[in-house]
Chain A
Amino acid sequence: MDKKLVIIAVVLVAIVIVGALAATMMGGSDDDKVVYWTPIGPNLQKEALIAGQIDGAITWEPFASDAVLSGSATIFKWSDDIWEDHPCCVVAVDNGFLENNRDLALRTLKAHMVATEWIVDTIADPDGDNYTKLLQIGAEFSQRSTAVVNSSVSNIVFTYNITESFEDWMEVITQKYIDLDLIQGSALGTQGYADVEDFVSNYFNSSLLEEAMDIEPSSTILNAGNPVQLGYLIGDLHQFARVIANNDTLWGEGKDLFEVYGVATETSVGGPYVNGGAVMNAFAAGNVDIGYLGSPPAILNHLNGGVDITVIAQVNMVGSAIFVGEDITTLDDFNGKVIATPGVSSIQHLMFLDFFTSNGFTVKAL
């Protein structure tokens, strides 16, 4: 009996060794260009570059501008140059919350819309008083200088509309994930969708935006003692609308914009989060009612993990970049280099995969 077990164990070890050798031998020719990636939160990427742990990073604002303005990096490519006019972050709502608190969800959404419009108007008038306030609020939230915020907001397109172009992008991204096997082929059917188009048209719901249009401010807080749990990312200026809406110096009477529309909010348990995957996990755990996150994790974790949410608004378009150290100036320089990404479920990671594989690189985790 013992001997048989040993034989099994030895056979297993032999299989492992033979398999590893085979995998190594079949692992591609020496001519392949390889770029390595490692997951590092955007707030630590600049430091990792300075410390020599990575050669570059793909990240969102303000971290790209911060790395450049600190003198540690240069921008290799803006995300807009990789995927023109690509969408990025979205607002999602827990379906259970939406069913039981539709009015609160609509009011929260209305605040998001008004805050976005305020940002757009403010950026359009950089000489106005509000612009100075915007920079200060952004600097305080992101813990970066006003110069960094100034650069960042010029690279981001703030919007809330769910447009046809946005839906087209969501179809492209979903299909890419299916092609890459990051989403199981059967996942659409499991979640009750006929195909990618059906998924996008149902999951990204623009009707709440229309409903929220007519919402008026409220003199009373409708959910006092039971605040809406807001999930969002650490220092992410893509989600500036949430920061502006949460600011209580802009809207009078010491209220923030959510309160102006009658909604008490608070940061959800465990938040702010390092990436959208973490926001989705918080949704799954029931910790988030309404969340700001990248569209890819919202797609991935809904289809793969059945996280029961609906996307109800956009937050921003573009505003990400690949920044690099001094060793990289051309695409070929990436061969053998290590690039940090915010995590496998982020839009930046998908963009990284897409950009380098379409340029003939083999992408490997460090």
Chain B
Amino acid sequence: MAMITIGTIKRGLITFIRPSDVSLKTDRRIQFVKTIIITIFSLSVFIGVWWGLSLLIDTPFLPPPDIVFEALLDSFIRPDITTGRTMWDNVVTSSIRVAWGFALAFVLAVPLGLVMGFSKTVESFSKPVVEVFRPIAPIAWAPLLLIAMGGKVGPIIVIFIGVFFPLLSNIIFGVRSIQPILMDAARTLGAKRGDMFIKVIIPSTVPYIMTGIRIGLGIGWMCVVAAEFLGAVGGGVGQYVQFKTEVNRFDQVFAGLIVFSILGLSTTELSGWVERRVMKRMGLK
């Protein structure tokens, strides 16, 4: 019989901790500290290599990290002379663009993907059109959309296209992956077509939707870079990088790239966490 010890007293109830829980927590802490140490080491090695290369190559195209970090800090503090905006303004503008493009894609791709996966007729009707557009790289749309829809709406539509297709494909795949036994069981229990859709298909597809969201957000950030490079209106980190490239301020170009990296990483981490939480809640992990 496993030994138990008194853990904490909450609202008058004594909770007990099994020795295995204690060791699990300790293991996790050790693992966390280990990961932090490795991450710091990895980043230090990267910065060291970067520094060494910049000294070795000695070209303006690869400024040393200290100069880049100085430019990065400065970009957040002082409004840029060419744009009148700080990096904060640019971050907010790019984030809003990604959010809009993503929201549009989500609202359209989720119902369409569920229906296409569920109904052969809808799939037969939609698939040819979807398959014609799906292989076109979203960035290829950017020049046309920026002219046709302007510098405000155009970038959002580019992001929408970038997010829409991976999300749609994932949802269709999710619907197709539902085990037939689940459908049969639901039918046996008297579920009608509508019930099957709401109570079996939608819940079963959630993990695939979540994965699609995570992938889509990553692509969304790539698309916003391209769209802002090509002529977005209202600022944005991509526009900042573009202008700085034109005047060869490579320290500021790198600062912009670091901001993109942080934004992309934060977004995908956040969506990854939401994905794991949802999966856990649904008992899938």
Contact = CB atoms under 8 A, between A and B. Distances in A.
Interface of A: 1-2, 4-6, 8-10, 12-13, 16-17, 19-20, 22-24, 27, 34, 38-39, 53, 180-182, 184, 190, 277, 280, 300-301, 304-307, 343-345, 349, 353, 362-366
A344 B266 CA distance: 31
Given A304-B248, A306-B59, A353-B81, A365 B243 contact: yes
B233 A38 contact: yes
Interface string B239-274: 100010011111100000000001000100110010
A12 B262 contact: yes
Given A6-B270, A12-B266, A304-B60, A344 B84 contact: no
Contacts of A53: 150
Given A38-B233, A180-B81, 19 more contacts: A4-B32, A5-B269, A5-B273, A8-B269, A12-B262, A13-B270, A16-B91, A17-B92, A23-B86, A23-B88, A53-B150, A182-B81, A182-B247, A304-B248, A305-B61, A305-B248, A305-B250, A344-B247, A364-B83
A306 B60 contact: yes
B31 interface: yes
B253 to A, nearest CB: 10
Interface in B7-63: 28, 31-32, 35, 59-61
Interface residues of B, number: 40
B123 interface: no
Nearest to A365: B83
A301 B248 contact: yes
19 contacts: A1-B28, A6-B270, A9-B273, A19-B86, A19-B91, A20-B89, A22-B88, A23-B86, A23-B88, A182-B249, A184-B251, A304-B60, A304-B249, A344-B82, A344-B246, A363-B84, A365-B82, A365-B239, A366-B234
Contacts of A364: 83-85
B170 interface: no
B246 A1 contact: no
Contacts of B239: 365
Contacts of B243: 344, 365
Most buried by B among A10, A184, A343: A184
B65 interface: no
Contacts of B248: 280, 300-301, 304-305, 307
A26 B91 CA distance: 16
A182 B250 contact: no
Given A20-B91, A304-B60, A305-B248, A9 B266 contact: yes
